[in-house]
Amino acid sequence: MSAKVFSRALGALALPLALTACDPKMWLTDMKQQPSVGTWQKFASDSVSGDTVPFRGNPQGSVPVTGVTVAAWEVSYLPNPQTVDSMSRLANPVEADARSIENGHRLYQVNCAVCHGDAGDGRGKLAEVSGIAFVPAINGAATQARSDGYIWGMLRNGRGLMSNFNRIPERERWDVVNYVRGLQGKYDVPKGITLKPGEARAFSAVSPVAPNMPHAYLRPSTAGIVPKAEKPKAEGAEDHGDH
């Protein structure tokens, strides 16, 4: 192939790209152009809240402007008995009112009931499926004797087979503590599931710093995309096909 013919062929290939590459109608909502979130970018679903709703929480180990109950340099996050014991004297700053009990009930069902059971008796779905009752009851005398700070510390650090539950916002962990006290008989609290499988979208936001609605691009749509027209063949041209 001569250089002249090659140059013409290359130009013919580049022309469609030059004419369509910047046409927004030709872009899809997949790997070509995707929604993204920058660091500390704000998120809001309406114009009323504007940019007052933060999109993400603080990075692990950072201290929010509202402060923390116990900083990492004061009490480490090690999941051992001595560390959890050191938080026994923490005072519960959240009143066990209707709001706290309701939120604690939801959070307990999402995070705790699978092991500790709906009533806190250790007979959760895990024991039902495995046939092994190795999860301690938290509605008995042993846990009743523990302070609120100790139970909160268990959620913060975890211990033994129990992992930490720092995915629950710090202050809302006290709601879980209040609800556990209710399971122990201190308050009259509802028991059982708060939502059925498949109803998770009806759950009010667990974390106030996370988006609680599906993204607009959750189900990409091709509506409005103009199909690319086929290039007409030059008069007299023959289609030889692949040989």
* Structural domains of the chain ordered from first start: 81-202 (1.10.760.10)
**How much is the pLDDT for 107?**
92
Residue 209 confidence (pLDDT) above 70: no
Q: How many CB atoms lie within 10 A of CB 172?
A: 19
The share of the chain scoring above pLDDT 90, in percent, equals 34
Cα–Cα distance, 181 to 100 (Å, whole number): 12
Confidence band for 239, pLDDT divided at 50, 70 and 90: low
pLDDT class of 202 with cuts at 50, 70, 90: very low
pLDDT score for 69? 87
- Which has more pLDDT, 189 or 47? 189
- Residue 118 in tokens: 């709906």
State percent of the chain over pLDDT 70. Answer: 53
Would you state the structure tokens that stand for residue 167, as one six-digit string? 């995915």
Q: At what angle do helices 98-111 and 170-183 cross, to 10 degrees?
A: 90
Return the higher-pLDDT residue of 189 and 18.
Answer: 189
Beta bridge partners of 42: 54
Compute the distance between CA of residue 131 and CA of residue 44 in angstroms, rounded to an integer.
Answer: 46
Question: How far apart are the C-alpha atoms of 125 and 115, rounded to whole Å?
Answer: 6
d(CA 18, CA 5): 20
pLDDT reading at 196 higher than 50: yes
pLDDT at residue 205 is higher than 50 = no
CA quadruple 198, 203, 205, 211: dihedral, nearest 10: 30
Q: Which of 110-119, 143-152, 211-220 has the highest mean pLDDT?
A: 143-152
Residue 38 scores a pLDDT above 90? no
- Least confident range from 5-14, 32-41, 61-70, 176-185: namely 32-41
Confidence at 212, pLDDT banded by 50, 70, 90 = very low
Find residue 162's DSSP bridge partners. Answer: 159
